[in-house]
Amino acid sequence: MEVHSTPLEGLLIISPNIFKDERGYFFESYRQDILKINGFTDSFMQDNESKSQRGVMRGLHFQNPPFAQAKLVRVVRGGILDVVVDIRNSSETYGQYFSIKLTGETKQMLLIPVGFAHGFMTLEDNTIVNYKSSNVYNKNSEGTLLWDDKTLDIDWGENHPVLSDKDLQGEPFDSFNSLFD
């Protein structure tokens, strides 16, 4: 398992070692000891999975303290454009985003620390995304940033995604008041 840093502090790309043979493949999808060596000390409390058709947008979501969540995101089948926005007030990269293509083929994962909004756009039909969360979901702590916010200027590569009503009502970044230090 290889761990790679990104321009946003604490945000890590995990590249597992995949062992393939005529029977299929094997890889470790989670190693707490390796993440700890790389500065991640949270424990995961909940696993989530979604299945979506091509062009579905989910996000940009976050959970406010005290229910804030770190996430370990991976694609089981298909592909996504995964996007995170730094919403930590004290961060030098506050308001900046990072995006990466994650696929079921490469098995690469994104480790997202607390203090980031997260969303993804599915690139293939029947895409399955699995992610671990460091805290349980709490509806009253939920927040959503507007996916196509002009200030953030995220290149999603899709002009007309399929969105939930909640995601259509996301908050503009200019009026957003972050509760993350």
Residues designated catalytic: 61, 131
Work out the end-to-end distance of the chain between its first and last CA atoms, rounded to an integer number of angstroms. 31
Q: Running DSSP on this structure, what letter comes out for residue 55?
A: T
The whole-angstrom separation of Cα 59 and Cα 149 is 12
- For the stretch 41-79, what's the b/e string if a residue is b when 16 or more beta carbons lie within 10 angstroms of its beta carbon? ebebeeeeeeebebbbbbbbbbbbeebbbbbbbbbeebb
- Amino acid found at 108: Q
- Amino acid found at 10: G
Q: Running DSSP on this structure, what letter comes out for residue 170?
A: P
Q: Burial level of 171, CB count in 10 A (0-12/13-18/19+)?
A: middle
- Amino acid found at 91: S
Main-chain dihedrals φ then ψ at residue 141, nearest 5 degrees: -100, 5
